[in-house]
Structure 1
Amino acid sequence: MAHPQHPRHDREIESIEEFDEIAAQGSLAGYRVQSVDLSHRTFALLSCDCADAVFLGCRMHADADAKVRADGALVFPPVPGLPFDPYRGRLYSPDELFTGLAGSGYDATPDALAYSWFQSTKADGDIYASMLRSIHDDAISDALDELLVGARVVGVMGGHAMARGTDAYAGAARLGRTLARDGFTVATGGGPGAMEAANLGAYAAAHPDEMLDDALHLLAKAPSFVPSVSDWALAAFEVRNRWPQGGDSVGIPTWFYGHEPPNAFAGHIGKYFANATREDGLLSRSTAGVVFLPGAAGTVQEIFDNATPNYYESRGEPTPMVLVNRAHWTEQLPTWPLLESLARGRSMQTRISLVDTVDEAPEALARLAAQGPAA
């Protein structure tokens, strides 16, 4: 995964270190300063030219605020009373979303509080709250773009009901580990089940093989987030604490499905309020292909959300699509015959594959990528 030294947009300032570096040159003119606490940088703000700068959610003293506005800067002050920062410049970490889990339980975490706020404001149709959600989601998209510059991203899709302790969960974890070791950035929907398993596998890629076996055994004691999200999440943090410094991956969950908590194995979490924006963003960023594990309605939707731009080539060349479990996708939910019919005679025909087992998926993905789209 690429980690640029500076933000993708060279006029963005997203950390206090970047602010100090630019401010030392005497001018912030034209810069966008995003969610940086400037309450201890009053002298720098008073000394710098801030013409045409934009300050998004930056804390600053009143005299600094007055001065930068006088220079012609736009100031969007922090919004009080929110359980999230709509102007944030970085993706979430598991530790951030689950703050307070061990002491007070999941319901007191920032993740749960953001969902509660979403539910209450969605119910009353407050346009101000809707605007804040949109700003937040756009900031998340910007942070994802910055993180994934140059990365070869493979999406892993699958159902949330896949329980820890099952062969299917272990297989999805092996898939994530293999993809990560092959140099791909694993991206999932960021939730439980198959999504968590793939993120776990990517986390385990940095450790010896036996670590994953031991982690799977430990996690099996809390097989599902039902009935207790707290027990489920605490088991994941026990794994992370026992085997720190795991491999990186991305999770892109949503508060729209707030009953599904995010998993703790994705190192970078791009959590959205708008599910449609989240799903399109996840699939469009899976530039090296997508593996679809068995799932239900949500996974079926993702298959065709991904197939449509491949069919029309609206994002360029079709990207590989690998469906795992022949019986599931031809008998239980016969998605494969329709996908195959859509692809026939088009460029995407050589970019789709159906395999029997999850262990076949990495080879199938590599084969589809190597042969390219049909002429």
Structure 2
Amino acid sequence: MSEVRPRRRRQGPVVRGQQTWQPTTTDQRLLDAKGSVEWVHEDPWRVMRIQSEFVEGFGTLAELGPAVTVFGSARTVADSEHYAAGIELGRKLAMAGFAVVTGGGPGAMEAANRGAAEAGGVSVGLGIELPYENTFNDWVNLGIYFRYFFVRKVMFLKYACGVVALPGGVGTMDELFETVTLVQTGKLTSFPIIMYGCDYWQGVRQWMERSMVPAGYVSPDDLALVRATDDLDEIVELMLTAETRISGRVAASRRDL
């Protein structure tokens, strides 16, 4: 009879067995306004934990080099065309000299990490404390776990020259539209945002064109901030162009010092 191994869960940097699991996540305890008034005394100390996550992320990724962040669904199955496209995208980006950054989970994230790792590239996973997903996929060769979504989101974009959104769900939409907002408001510059899979993303684009633009909530120019394509080589070229612009801007700023 085979030995039954105890289940374990990762919470931030801590690994807990079933006997020591905490029923809530760190993010939930931060954002939940209900419960004891003790939060008044505890919340200021959370700033130190948040600070430590930023320090860990910056320290680990500062020397990453050119990188592209890939978003996508954790539910993408391994025998799907979207998974195959993720592998090929990761491979092409790595061959072009980019590190590939994902959320480090299964599905589309695993596919992009796998393509990068198999091509000999740097395959980054930025994990998050979740009640149902607590391990990196097997293709991550540089990984950091975070407690807080907002810290993780900064790390997704801080060291990337652009993002690619593979087909995904609510989480992918959140990451995609937050990136669009940052570009729209000038927080990110020379930053391509690509939606891979024209058929999949067609409904989103049509809704923006037919509902948001006529209502005046976005301008036609805003739609140009995001490009949809089925051409992986086009994605790589766009990222190379963006990286060249960034490198040139950095070099110019250094000359001005």
Q: Which amino acid aligns with 1:196?
A: E
Aligned to 2:7: 107
Structure 1 pair 181/160, CA: closer, same or farther in 2 (3 Å)? Answer: same
Quick check: 1:119 aligned with 2:32?
no
Aligned to 1:264: 138
Match of 2:57 among 144, 147, 150: 144
Aligned to 1:305: 178
Secondary structure of 2:145's counterpart equals coil
Task: State the aligned residue count.
Answer: 224
Q: Which amino acid aligns with 2:61?
A: L
* Deviation of 1:250 (Å): 1.6
* Deviation of 1:357 (Å): 4.6
Taking the aligned partners of 2:103 and 2:82, their CA distance within structure 1 comes to: 17
* Deviation of 1:359 (Å): 5.5
Question: Unaligned 5+ residue runs, structure 1?
Answer: 1-102, 207-246
Question: Unaligned 5+ residue runs, structure 2?
Answer: 247-257
Aligned to 1:252: 126
* Contact 1:155/1:291 (<8 A) preserved: yes
* Contact 2:125/2:142 (<8 A) preserved: yes
CA-to-aligned-CA distance 1:27-65 (integer Å, 9 cap, x gap): xxxxxxxxxxxxxxxxxxxxxxxxxxxxxxxxxxxxxxx
Taking the aligned partners of 1:203 and 1:106, their CA distance within structure 2 comes to: 30
- For residues 49-88 of structure 1, what are the structure 2 equivalents within 5 Å? none
Aligned to 1:74: none
Q: Percent identity?
A: 25
Aligned to 1:96: none
Aligned to 2:250: none
* Contact 1:311/1:318 (<8 A) preserved: no
Taking the aligned partners of 2:200 and 2:52, their CA distance within structure 1 comes to: 37
Taking the aligned partners of 1:369 and 1:134, their CA distance within structure 2 comes to: 33
Aligned to 1:164: 78
Quick check: 1:289 aligned with 2:162?
yes
Q: Which amino acid aligns with 1:328?
A: Y
* Deviation of 1:362 (Å): 1.9
Taking the aligned partners of 1:343 and 1:135, their CA distance within structure 2 comes to: 40
Q: Which amino acid aligns with 1:145?
A: F
* Contact 1:157/1:188 (<8 A) preserved: yes
Taking the aligned partners of 2:156 and 2:146, their CA distance within structure 1 comes to: 11
Secondary structure of 2:70's counterpart equals strand
What TM-score comes out, normalization by structure 1 length?
A: 0.51
Secondary structure of 1:353's counterpart equals strand
Report which of the two structures shows the higher radius of gyration computed on alpha carbons: 1
* Higher relative contact order, chain-length normalized (CA < 8 Å, sep 6+): 2
Q: Which amino acid aligns with 2:226?
A: I
